[in-house]
Amino acid sequence: MFDRNVATLGPAMAELVECNRLLAGGDPSPALRLRRGIAYGTAHDHRTALAELTVAVTGDLPEEDLAAAHCRRAVLYCRLGEHAAAEIAATQSLVFRLTAAAYTARAMPRCLGGDLQGAWADTERALLLDSAFTSAHAVRGRIFLALGRPAEALADFDVSTFAESYDGDARVDRAECLLVLGQAALAVAACDEVILTGPAGFFGLGGPSATAEPHRVHLLRARANLALGDPLAALADCFLAAALSPDSPEVYEVRAEVYQVTDASDSSEDATADLAKAAELRVA
């Protein structure tokens, strides 16, 4: 009966059931806690996954497993918006093994924390170890985008539109590159694809990160449609963005920009109201 019930579960939940059975049976081993941590991460329970992995790394594990566990901890910390802790965990992983995954896991929090040069150096180290490691290309793409080098960013995003160790959806960043490069129609098409298929996963862990911006793809498509001379389509996306993230000042700033080019009689008043709302949110 037990085996039959487990077979009806998804792989992650089936693994959790098995791990919990072994733990209840008296197996306290670090290897089991590592398995539980991976399973909880796959089930999108990032806090519990992190707790399990933190227990696992204090035990007697092979160096390869220690490196992998610390790397996963780094990714989880980054998912939770704890960038300093993510950088420390990735560095701990590198103590045990110099891997492209660990360098990339350290590059992402460095990038998000504003250390673009340090992040870039880590992606270069990762790509020296594994030139085909897609996550490193994705993170380096974001760094190039932040540095105002959209053509180089686009080249990296074209290598990977789904990536591990990446706090975000590389497809959205690719769409932004296209818009910055003046390819508005292609940017709209790229946004359409993201909206149609939903957000990309993250290191096999799934779920939104603490820093996720679900409205961003709609604002990108709004700006692209505005560049194409279609303010009504742009306005529709602005309202969708506002529904997803009503506390984002950027939503109201972009919508105000759209209102300013529409012909409706009350557009000027709507733009003024949105700018006031954006200013209020930025102060808060």
Q: What is the largest CA-CA distance in the chain?
A: 73
Q: Give burial (CB, 10 Å; 0-12/13-18/19+) of 26.
A: exposed
**How high is the pLDDT of residue 8?**
45
Q: What angle do CA 145, 211, 38 make, to 5 degrees?
A: 105
Is 217 a residue whose pLDDT tops 70? yes
Report yes or no: 150 and 181 within 8 Å, Cβ to Cβ: yes
pLDDT score at 204? 38
Pairwise CA distance, residues 63 & 33, whole Å? 16
Tell whether the model's pLDDT for residue 36 goes beyond 70: yes
Read off the tokens for 126: 């990762």
Please state the rounded mean pLDDT for residues 242-251: 94
- Write the pLDDT tens digit of every residue in 162-213: 655 465 678 899 999 999 999 999 999 999 998 988 765 444 344 445 456 7
* Predicted local confidence at residue 97, as pLDDT: 97
Q: What is the pLDDT of residues 65-96, one digit of tens each?
A: 999 999 999 999 998 999 999 999 999 999 99
Residues 261-276 have pLDDT tens digits of 987 768 889 999 999 9
The token duo for 112 is: 């998000």
C-alpha to C-alpha distance for 197 and 190, rounded to whole angstroms: 11
Tokens of 271: 């733009």
**Does residue 53 carry a pLDDT above 70?**
yes
DSSP letter string, 107-153: HHHHHHTT-HHHHHHHHHHHHHH-TT-HHHHHHHHHHHHHTT-HHHH
Centroid of chain to Cα 270:
33
**pTM, full prediction:** 0.84
Structure-model confidence comparison of residues 131 and 23, the more confident one: 131
Report, in angstroms and rounded to the nearest whole number, the Rg of the chain calculated over CA atoms: 22
What is the per-residue pLDDT for 197?
81
Cα–Cα distance, 49 to 36 (Å, whole number): 7
**Whole-number pLDDT of residue 7:** 46
